[in-house]
Amino acid sequence: MPRRPRLDLPGVSQHLIQRGNDRQPCFFADIDRVRYLHDLRELARTHDCQVHAYVLMTNHVHLLLSPARVRAVSALMQSLGRRYVRYFNDRYQRTGTLWEGRYRSCLVDSEDYLLRCYRYIELNPVRAGMVVDPADYPWSSHGANALGRPDPLVQPHPRYLALERDDDTRRAVYRSLVTRGLEPTEVEEIRRAMGTQRALGSDDFREDIQRRLGRRVAPGRPGRPRKQKPKPGSECNFPLESLRTPQASRHEIAL
C-alpha cells in the first residue's frame, strides 16, 4: 500500500517525533546530544526551517519547526537522520538502522495550539519523571524560551513573540504558562494528532488546510459508519439471496 503523502505547507508549523528503533536509546552520552543539536542547527539553516522548540529524550526526539518551503522538513530530517546515524554507528562500532521508520508529524494551528506544543515538548522530561522542573533538563529549548539562555538553534515563532513586547516580560508570561501545564485532554489531543499525522487546531484551521491541500486533514469519527435509512419507495421487493454469489461473504464490502 503506498505511503500517504505528508501534510506539508510552507509557513505552517509542524510538530514531529522521531523514535529510536524498537524504542532503543539514540543518545548514550552528552556528546551525542551535542552532535545531534549541532547537525540540526546546520541543516535547519540549509533547508530553510526554523526550530521553535525541541527536546532530546533518551530514545526519541520532539521538534516544533516551521518550513519556508514545501518538503523542507522531509529534506531536513532525511539529511539529519543519515548524518547522525553515520556518527552514531562509527562512535559505538555498530551497524544498521537507528531510527524507528519514518518520523511522525502533524501541522499545528498558530493560535493557542502552537504554544500548547511548545509546552508539551518542553514538559516531556517532567512527564517522564526525569526532573521536577523543566529548567533542570539541559537538552531542551526551555532554557532559551523560558529563561533567556543563549541557544543558537531556537528561533521564536511570531505567536510566542506576541505574548509580550519586552523579552523579560515575555519569558515570565511563558514560564507561567509552562507552570500551569496542560490539561489531560490537551495532552491527549496532541498525541492523537501525532498518532494520526493529521492537523492539530481549530475547525477553521483544519478546513483551511483541507481546502489548500485538497484532502482530509482531520481524523474520522471512531467506530463503524452510521447506516443510512432507505428513502421512501426505495425498499427492496425481492429476496436478498438473489443478489448473493457463491464467492460472496459477509465481509465482502469494506467501507
Q: Where are the alpha helices (DSSP H) in the chain?
A: 30-46, 72-92, 112-122, 124-127, 142-147, 158-161, 167-180, 184-196, 203-213
Summarize pLDDT for 182-214 with one digit per residue, the tens: 999 999 999 999 998 889 999 999 899 888 888
Summarize pLDDT for 130-184 with one digit per residue, the tens: 999 999 999 999 999 999 999 999 999 999 999 999 999 999 999 999 999 999 9
Q: Residue 241 falls within a domain, yes or no?
A: no
Query: What distance lies between CA 212 and its chain's CA centroid?
Result: 20
Longest dimension (CA), the chain: 77
Q: Residue 235 falls within a domain, yes or no?
A: no
User: Cell numbers at residue 237, please?
Assistant: 421487493
Q: Which domain holds residue 173?
A: 14-213
More confident residue, 110 or 2: 110
CATH of residue 96: 3.30.70.1290
203 vs 34: CA distance, rounded Å: 39
141 vs 122: CA distance, rounded Å: 7
Count up the domains in the chain and report the number: 1
Cell 551525542 sits on residue: 32
Specify burial of residue 227 (Cβ count, 10 A radius: 0-12, 13-18, 19+): exposed
User: Cell numbers at residue 100, please?
Assistant: 524507528
Q: Residue 236 falls within a domain, yes or no?
A: no
